[in-house]
A and B are shown apart, each in its own frame.
Chain A
Amino acid sequence: MKPVSFPLGEPTSHLVGVTPVLPYVVQPYKVSPYVLIHITPSGKDVASAAFLFQRKGTLSQCYPIVSLNGFWGTAVIDTLCVSPVPPSLGKGVQVAYNRSLEGGSSCGALLLNENLKMQRTCCSLYTRAARMSVQTIRSVFSVDTGYRLTDDQMVNHFPNHYELTRKDLMIKNIKRYRKDLEKEASPLAEKDESGKYLYLDFVPVTFMLPADYNLFVEEFRKSPSSTWIMKPCGKAQGKGIFLINKLSQIKKWSRDSRTFVAANSGKEAYVISLYIDNPLLIGGKKFDLRLYVLMTSYRPLKCYMYKLGFCRFCTVKYTPSTSELDNMFVHLTNVAIQKHGDDYNHVHGGKWTVSNLRLYLESTRGRDVTNHLFDQIHWIVVQSLKAVAPVMNNDKHCFECYGYDIIIDDRLKPWLIEVNASPSLTSSTANDRILKYNLINDTLNIVTPNGEIPDCRWNRSLPKEALGHYQVLYDEEQALSESTDLRSCSGQSLGSKGSRSGSVRPPFPATWK
């Protein structure tokens, strides 16, 4: 099946509100935000029917579209695994799912017939499904389970994705990556006079608490007027985050908080990062960037950048004054937090597209600086992925769509804040719905191209047209072959690219453009 195409310049959004003729009941907007995915499902055989369903649901947190008469309710689907039914069971598709609800999670498996109507729940699959959640995904690949994923099964997480998506581990991996490069005397690890990395200084100074407490105190004393942000390692959506600007606050916190004690036993650790107190403001408001990055393989590294990211704006004016430290709405841009602010607007949800950002920056600051900023953003994404590549379990059944959170400061330097393994795919506004629809659609078109049954052995190199709104961010194989070509014709060494002195632009292969 080809991606749905529209005539020149004609929008998908134009079709919102126009109900396509579907062979199944279309659920109302809130329950199934991705109705538009199923415009051409007629005349499909079992395999593509399975695929159709998969396009709707494989990614975490997306509401499946198939009418199950409210069975799914508003639960968030964490993981979904789809495979064809063994011939002995007749035509259809089996689906194992794991969903998280407010205050708990459940899992199960279903058998759907060829019209994607639910036939029955399927207990034999239950145990497998129980293992599949973003937290427990690792066990799916464990040898002890006695279960192996078949070639036509794809899973939307890497077994140990937390190496990148847990705040403390990401920092650890990046620090190690820098050291490794330094040891190799790589030009990438070059430092300026003050000892800062020229190309690898892209995360705010961060320490693990309580482990690095002494290091933190040392750093804090160097600049006592700075503000720091405390984040629990394993939580998302802005939960448990607070700001401090005095050492006494952190001492008080460690006394008061039992978690600190628990953290000593390794259960709940915190990271403390230098707070970016000079963020770029637009219209006087603070914002951060949410970008989507699709990873299909860590070794060789192959990743895609989604062009339709967005900026999330604070609804409350930004004041760097410390009196506002308690007002989280000023500092955190997470939609989950901002939604509780009084000013939250349900039409745009505080979201501004990256293309708006580009237009604004190019108009007010010029084309070259803007291009440089976006080059740098791409650069830090690639470096963060390279940093975790050696430790990642690169299972061929896996792909993952990450939500990158980036803050830009007023000197137009981007900072990597964190990476999410299960970026929210629910939609808060109409435009958001179109974006998420496109994101899921394009992701699945890359992971399972041509609408065929997934095949994890397939080597994924797609023509530009098949990428949708994705662009290749980095393709290690291609980059290597290009640089070999380069070397053979000009005799240049690979490293010399990075050591050009005086060049502001970090060394970068041309593959993502």
Chain B
Amino acid sequence: MMDESTELSVSITQIVQRLKGTHLHSQLEKQAKECMHKPEIKLETLKDDVRRLLKASGWERKLQNAVYRELHILPPPGNPRAPPEHTKEPLAYMRKAQLSWEKRILKSLNSMCTELGIPLARKRPVLEQKELTNKWNEMGTDEPDLSKFRPVYAPKDFLEVLIGLRNLNNNRSEDLTVRSNWGLIQVSLNIRDIPQMRETYPELGLTYGQLGIDDHTHVPPDLFESEHILIGKKVVSEQDSAAAQQYSRQGCPTGLRAQLWTLILNTTDDPEVITHYEQLKARVIHHGLLVDNLIYKDVKLTASNDDYYFVFEDYLYQVLLCFSRDTAVLEHFNNNSATPPKSHIQSKSGSEPCAVVYPPNGVIPFHGFSMYVAPLCFLYNEPSKLYSVFREMYIRYFFRLHSISSHPSGIVSLCLQFERLLQTHLPQLFYHLREIGAQPLRIAFKWIVRAFSGYLSTDQLLLLWDRILGYGSLELVAVLAAAVFAFRAENLMEVTSLASAEAVLADLSTLKVMPLLQIFLFATSV
């Protein structure tokens, strides 16, 4: 076991390592050098003076924000001697399950490739490149024949894999309690109960003001809201990531949300961000990938038919196509239980086939993937900005929703959390639904996988995502799923089939997220 101070110093070394050679690093150096020429710098107090100047010019804040971002994506400290995959996912059976799931997806992708006779990647002829450049902003008007393509997998398929998860170390007959047999998830993980969550989410408590609740009450009118907006403006002007994150726990005002989220995610609008996006765009134009068709198909099947998001169809193509080419996304596999899929290509020089990551970002889209981007289109109307916010959201949070791991924000934990909450607080409802063959998770899984995108109305969804960013955790997604069941419990008790239970829960677009969460967490008797 490492003690706290060694753990800290390991983290510090890691962060310093990662920040070295970044754009920020060279900018800081440049700034420091420029300081030298200033008259107020004295040789005897050189270090302090430079520091003071960097602080005054806002560069210290930028460094703080960068460190804060690294802390978010830093893999959990492990024993330095443990192999890296153990740090990514400590439980062997999870690793194994993830590995075989990856094999399945890749096999399915490869067989689609062979079946249709379409190469995984190809250079576009010059004429096609020109055409694509011209219609870059209106790819939605294109109607390619996509009937042959099918999504590599849908959330349903993934749920079956999670249901099949078993910990072979557990002797089932004696170890599993009656309770755990109720649900679909058959592994045990450390899940927080309501009293623990009340400690984790104190700002959601009844005594705190909440955007999404207190902006709608009429007495006293707007009191909390206007105060909250004032503080929000201050947070934005201070450019402080940590403060923005704390602030977001009570909700971001609509007019400030875009700025606050970029601050929390530390996605700067440096020119290099735009250059990077333009490079990705060039890659899309030069080479066509098989996954492009999957992206097209997914957008057509989901966002293009959505009342809220259809207007952003073209932005979704742009962002998702660029995303698939972005090798910087690979970085997130350092703390993802998954490994990027590999494909073999014939190298130019020799006949020896070599393995490359495919698609280049290592992420194979599934049915509904574009809904991770869609809500963000309400906040950012510049594609490069939209892109960088989405990418950061993905490598911090969304990847956990479709890889098998024991992480508390991972999909397995969320499913288990959801089932446990219902079993503990609405046992009769759980029992009833189970009896009629409508396991709650079968209905709620699609919500959880998409973090509710496409199910809630956009304003409500953004209020939920405020809290995801604010607490740096997806746990509230599971809580909300349970709260929705609790809210419609009366109707659900009346139904007698899976279909009618699904009908009762088919339309979530009128739900108010924050009252549901607050009541479920703080007004449920425990």
Q: Interface of A with B (CB < 8 Å)?
A: 9-11, 13-14, 16-18, 282-285, 287, 313, 316-317, 342-343, 345, 347-348, 350-353, 355-356, 359-360, 362-364, 366-368, 370, 431
Do residues B307 and A13 form an inter-chain contact, with CB atoms below 8 A?
no
Tell me whether A283 and B312 are in contact (CB under 8 A). yes
24 contacts between A and B (CB under 8 A): A10-B510, A14-B507, A284-B137, A284-B314, A287-B311, A316-B141, A317-B138, A317-B314, A342-B143, A343-B143, A345-B305, A347-B305, A347-B307, A348-B307, A356-B308, A356-B458, A360-B378, A362-B254, A363-B254, A364-B258, A364-B381, A366-B255, A368-B255, A431-B307
Q: Mark B256-271, 1 if CB is under 8 A from A, else 0.
A: 0110000000000000
B305 touches A352 (CB 8 A): no
In the bound complex, residues from chain A placing their C-beta under 8 Å from that of B304 are 345
The contact of B255 among A9, A14, A362, by CB within 8 Å, is A362
Q: Which of A9, A285, A363 contacts B378 (CB 8 A)?
A: A363
B298 at the interface (CB under 8 A from A): no
B507 touches A11 (CB 8 A): yes
In addition to A9-B487, A284-B137, A367-B255, 14 A-B residue pairs with Cβ atoms within 8 Å of each other are A10-B510, A11-B510, A13-B510, A14-B507, A284-B314, A316-B141, A343-B141, A347-B305, A352-B311, A353-B307, A359-B254, A363-B255, A364-B258, A364-B381
Q: Which of B314, B315, B459, B509 contacts A13 (CB 8 A)?
A: B509
B310 touches A317 (CB 8 A): no
Q: Does B313 contact A (CB under 8 A)?
A: yes
B417 to chain A, nearest CB (A): 24
B102 within 8 A of A: no
Q: What per-residue 1/0 map shows which CB atoms of B440-459 lie under 8 Å from chain A? A: 00000000000000000011
Beyond A13-B510, A284-B137, is A364–B380 a contact (Cβ under 8 Å)? yes
Task: Report if B511 contacts A (CB, 8 A).
Answer: yes
Complex Cα distance, B309 from A285, in Å, reads 13
A283 touches B507 (CB 8 A): no
- Please tell me if the beta carbons of B306 and A348 are within 8 angstroms of each other in the complex: yes
Contact yes or no, A9 B258, CB < 8 A = no
Query: CA–CA, A316 to B138, complex, Å?
Result: 9
Choose from A18, A348, A362, A363 the contact partner of B310 (Cβ within 8 Å): A348
| Docked complex Cα distance between A10 and B253 (Å) | 24
Using A11-B510, A317-B141, A359-B458 as known contacts, say yes or no to A283 and B307 having CB atoms under 8 A apart: no
Contacts of A359 on B, CB cut-off 8 Å? 254, 378, 458-459
The answer to the question of B377 belonging to the interface, with a C-beta cut-off of 8 Å to chain A, is yes
Q: A283's contact among B143, B313, B459, B515, by CB below 8 Å, is which?
A: B313
Q: Which residues of A contact B254 (CB under 8 A)?
A: 359, 362-363, 367
- Nearest Cβ in chain B — how far from A436, in angstroms? 15
Q: Is B32 an interface residue (CB 8 A)?
A: no
- Residue of A with least CB distance to B381: A364
Digitize B124-143: 1 where CB-to-A-CB distance is under 8 Å, 0 elsewhere: 00000000000001101101
Contacts of A10 in B (CB 8 A): 510
Could you tell me the distance in whole angstroms from the C-beta of A335 to the nearest C-beta in chain B?
Answer: 14
A355–B459 contact, CB under 8 A?
yes
CB closest chain-A residue, reference B135 = A317
Decide yes or no whether B328 CB sits under 8 A from chain A: no
Nearest CB on A from B272, distance (A) = 23
Number of interface residues of B (CB under 8 A): 37
Query: Contact: A364 with B509, CB < 8 Å?
Result: no
A135 to B513, CA, bound (A): 48
**How far, in Å, is B214 (CB) from chain A's closest CB?**
16
Is B283 an interface residue when CB atoms closer than 8 A count as contact?
A: no
B379 within 8 A of A: yes
B512 at the interface (CB under 8 A from A): yes
Kindly state the separation between the CA atoms of A11 and B491 in the bound complex, as whole angstroms: 13
Residue of B nearest to A6 (CB): B510
Question: Which B-chain residue is minimally distant from A316 (CB atoms)?
Answer: B141
Please, which residues of chain A bring their CB within 8 A of the CB of B511?
9
Residue of B nearest to A364 (CB): B381
Which residue of A is nearest B504, CB measured? Answer: A14
Q: Is the CB of B378 within 8 A of A283?
A: no
- Please give, as numbers and ranges, the residues of chain B lying within 8 Å of A353 by CB-CB distance: 307
State whether A313 and B311 are in contact (beta carbons under 8 Å apart), knowing that A10-B510, A11-B510, A362-B254 are contacts in the complex.
yes
Q: A316-B141, A345-B310, A348-B306 are in contact. Are A283 and B255 (CB under 8 A)?
A: no
The reply on B161 being an interface residue by CB < 8 A is no
Q: Considering the chains assembled together, what is the distance between the CA atoms of A16 and B380 in angstroms?
A: 34
> Would you call B355 an interface residue if the criterion is a C-beta within 8 Å of the partner chain's C-beta atoms?
no
CB contacts under 8 Å to A, within B506-522, are: 507, 509-512, 515
For residue B223, which residues in chain A have a CB less than 8 angstroms away from its CB?
Answer: none
CA distance A431 to B307 in the complex (A): 9
B503 is an interface residue with CB less than 8 A from chain A: yes
Residue with the highest number of chain B CB atoms closer than 10 Å, among A13, A348, A368:
A348
Contact A9 B459 (CB under 8 A): no
Give Cα A370–Cα B256 distance, bound, in whole angstroms: 13
Judge whether B315 and A363 touch: CB under 8 Å. Answer: no
Question: Which chain B residue has the least Cβ–Cβ distance from A346?
Answer: B305
In this complex, what residue of A is CB-closest to B306? A348
- B207-234 CB contact bits vs A (8 Å, 1 = yes)? 0000000000000000000000000000
Cβ contact of A9, chosen from B313, B314, B512, cutoff 8 A:
B512
The CA of A353 and the CA of B459, in the complex, are separated in Å by 12
B286 to chain A, nearest CB (A): 23
Contact with A along B291-313 (1 / 0, CB 8 A): 00000000000001111101111
* B137/A317 in contact, CB under 8 A: yes
Closest chain-A Cβ to B318's Cβ sits at a distance in Å of: 10
Residue of chain A at shortest CB distance from B257: A363
Identity of the chain B residue whose Cβ is nearest the Cβ of A431 in the assembled complex = B307
Cβ–Cβ < 8 Å partners of B141 in chain A? 316-317, 343
Complex Cα distance A350/B308, Å? Answer: 10
Residues of A contacting B509 in the complex (Cβ-Cβ under 8 angstroms): 11, 13
Q: Which of A16, A283, A350 has the most CB of B within 10 A?
A: A283
The distance in angstroms between the C-alpha atoms of A352 and B313, with both chains bound, is: 13
Tell me if B379 and A363 are in contact (CB < 8 A): yes
A342 CA to B141 CA, complexed, in Å: 10
* A282 close to B311 (CB less than 8 A): yes
CB proximity of B133 to chain A, nearest CB, Å: 15
> From residue B434, how far is it (CB to closest CB) to chain A in Å?
24
Among A11, A17, A283, A364, which residue has its beta carbon within 8 angstroms of that of B311?
A283
**Does A367 contact B253, Cβ atoms closer than 8 Å?**
yes
Q: Are A17 and B503 in contact (CB under 8 A)?
A: yes
Q: A345 CA to B307 CA in the complex, in Å?
A: 10
CA distance A14 to B307 in the complex (A): 16
Which of A284, A352, A355, A368 is most buried by chain B, counting CB atoms within 10 A of its CB? A284
How many angstroms between the C-alpha atoms of A283 and B306 in the bound complex? 14
CB-based contact A352/B377 at 8 Å = no
**Measured CA separation A345–B247 after assembly (Å):** 40
Task: Report the Cα distance A381→B299, complex, angstroms.
Answer: 38
CA distance A132 to B308 in the complex (A): 40
Q: Which residues of B contact A342 (CB under 8 A)?
A: 143
